[in-house]
Amino acid sequence: MRICIISDLHGNVEALDALPSDYDELWVLGDLVNYGPDPSAVIDFVRTRASIVIRGNHDHSVGFDTDCQCSPRFRDMAEATRQFTASVLSAADKQYLRELPTFARREVDANVFFLCHATPSDLLYEYRAADSPLWERSEDRASDADIILAGHIHIPFSRRAGGRLIANPGSLGQTKAGNTMARYAIWQDGHLELKVLEYPVDKTLAKIRSMPVPDLVKYDLFQVLQTGRTP
């Protein structure tokens, strides 16, 4: 089975449309919305094509109209774009976000996968870097897992810790890995491969330019997408 794993789409439909479709299943680790200009289109894509979709902190924030608890440098961006996102989503879209599970388990070829947005112990909010020693500990929700898949930090990694594989596909829609390339991962034949792809980022930037948010927020969003780094 060929599984495509994506996370942190953030309303970027250009990156999503560029994703190769040669997979058997699509797994989404959360944050479909916020920051980007096309939250409705992203939800439609994921709702019709994904086998597993996890709720991220921005999905939770928009769905329940609450603080996303993101990092301080992104708070103004998150709040301004949350208001925009809420204004363009339908009631059904918001209900879909509210009803997404916060974690999932799947067994594929005798491997047990645990899927979450942030970490097994803090499903929505914890920022845990690839080299954190906390990955070594056994966490109750994922104690039986052979592979833990998480997103949230927008930086891809794959490592072994605590006797299991820990992997983050990075962000498809707003990478912080140092360039404009979208990130995702493929699981096939017992192996996980981190992947990159080009997409027409200028089209996304043009749409952001037209969003009804403050100019400073637009500038910061531009900086993230054009550099792949925190502004």
For the chain, domains (ranges, CATH) are: 2-227 (3.60.21.10)
**Tokens 């799947």 correspond to what residue?**
106
Neighbours of 80 (CB within 10 A): 21
Residue 57: pLDDT band (50, 70, 90) is: very high
Phi and psi torsions of 43, nearest 5°? -60, -45
Nearest Cα to 22, choosing from 41, 42, 3?
3
| Neighbouring-strand partners of residue 6 | 28
CA distance 36 to 45: 15
The answer, as to whether pTM is greater than 0.85, is yes
Residue pair 220/77 in contact by the 8 Å Cβ criterion: yes
| SS3 of the chain: helix, strand, coil, percent, to 5 | 35, 20, 45
The pLDDT tens digits of the residues spanning 211-230 come to: 999 999 999 999 999 999 99
The pLDDT tens digits of the residues spanning 119-175 come to: 999 999 999 999 999 999 999 999 999 999 999 999 999 999 999 999 999 999 999
